[in-house]
Chain A
Amino acid sequence: MGYFMSETPAINPIITMQRLARLHLTPEESISLGQDLAKVLSWVGQLEGVCVRGMPESQQPAMALRQDSVTEGDQVSLVLGNAPCPKDSFFTVPKVLKS
Chain B
Amino acid sequence: MSSVSPMSSAGSAAFETVIGLEVHAQIVSQSKLFSGSSSQAFGQDPNTCVSFLDVAMPGMLPTLNQECVDQAIRLGLAISGTISLVSVLDRKHYFYPDNPAGYQISQYQKPIVQDGTLQILSGEKAWKTIRIQRIHIEQDAGKSMHDQDPLTSYVDFNRAGVGLMEIVSHPDLSSPEEVIDYIKRLRCLMRYLGVCHGDMEKGQLRVDANVSVRRPGEDLGTRVELKNMNSLRFLHSALNYEINRQIGEIEHGGRVIQETRTYDPASGKTRPMRTKEVADDYFYFPDPDLTPLVIDSDHVQTIASTLPETPWAKHARFVQVYGLSEYDADLLVEDMDVSYFFEQVVSFLSEPAWAKLTANWILGELFAALNRTNTSFSDAHIHPENMAALIQAVANKKLSNLLAKEVFGIMFETGEHPEKIMEQRGLVQVSNQEDVQQWICTVLNRENDNVAAYLSGKDKLFAFFVGQVMKESKGKANPQAIQALLAESLEKLRP
A-to-B contact residues, CB < 8 Å: 16, 19-20, 22, 60-76, 78-80, 82, 85, 87-96, 99
Contact = CB atoms under 8 A, between A and B. Distances in A.
Contacts of A82: 57
Contact of B36 (A22, A61, A71, A92): A71
A94 B30 contact: no
B495 interface: no
Interface stretch (B2-10, B48-56, B128-136): B48-56
**Main secondary structure on B side of the interface with A:** loop
B298 to A, nearest CB: 14
Contacts of A88: 46, 154
28 contacts: A20-B281, A62-B294, A63-B294, A65-B66, A66-B36, A66-B64, A66-B66, A68-B30, A68-B65, A68-B68, A70-B37, A71-B31, A71-B36, A72-B36, A72-B51, A73-B37, A73-B50, A78-B52, A87-B152, A88-B46, A88-B154, A89-B45, A89-B48, A92-B154, A93-B153, A94-B152, A95-B151, A96-B274
Contacts, number: 122
Contact of B47 (A72, A76, A95, A99): A76
A79 B156 contact: no
B257 interface: no
A70 B48 CA distance: 12
A96 to B, nearest CB: 8
A92 B47 CA distance: 12
Interface string B87-130: 00000000101000000000000000000000000000000000
A72 B291 contact: no
B449 interface: no
B386 interface: no
Given A71-B31, A72-B35, A95-B146, A66 B63 contact: yes
A79 B52 contact: yes
Nearest to A90: B154
Interface residues of B, number: 51
Interface in B1-55: 29-31, 35-38, 45-52, 54-55
Instruction: Specify which of A19, A68, A71, A82 lies most central, judged by the most chain B CB atoms within 10 Å of its CB.
Output: A68
A93 to B, nearest CB: 5
B277 A19 contact: yes
B297 to A, nearest CB: 13
B293 interface: yes
B156 A90 contact: yes
Contacts of B97: 91, 93
Given A63-B294, A70-B37, A20 B280 contact: yes
B69 A73 contact: no
Interface string B403-445: 0000000000000000000000000000000000000000000
Given A66-B36, A79-B50, A90 B66 contact: no
Contacts of B55: 79
Contacts of A65: 63-66, 69
A64 B283 CA distance: 26
Contact of B278 (A20, A61, A74): A20
Nearest to A62: B294
B150 interface: yes
Nearest to A89: B46
B30 A69 contact: yes
Contacts of B150: 95, 99
Contacts of A91: 47, 97, 154-157
Interface string B278-291: 10110100000011
Contacts of B156: 90-91
Contacts of B283: 20
Instruction: Specify which of B47, B52, B67, B68 lies most central, judged by the most chain A CB atoms within 10 Å of its CB.
Output: B47
Contacts of A73: 36-38, 48-51
Instruction: Specify which of B50, B156, B157 lies most central, judged by the most chain A CB atoms within 10 Å of its CB.
Output: B50
B48 A74 contact: yes
Contacts of A74: 48
A71 to B, nearest CB: 3
Contacts of B36: 66, 69-73
A91 to B, nearest CB: 4
B356 to A, nearest CB: 42
A41 B52 CA distance: 36
A96 B50 CA distance: 24
A60 B311 CA distance: 40
B152 A93 contact: yes
Contact of A90 (B63, B67, B155): B155
A89 B51 CA distance: 14
Nearest to A69: B30
Contacts of B274: 96
Given A61-B291, A72-B37, 12 more contacts: A19-B277, A20-B278, A22-B95, A62-B291, A63-B64, A66-B36, A68-B68, A71-B37, A88-B46, A88-B154, A94-B152, A94-B153
Given A80-B47, A92-B153, A60 B292 contact: yes
Contacts of B144: 93
Interface in B122-177: 144-146, 148-157
Contacts of B30: 68-70
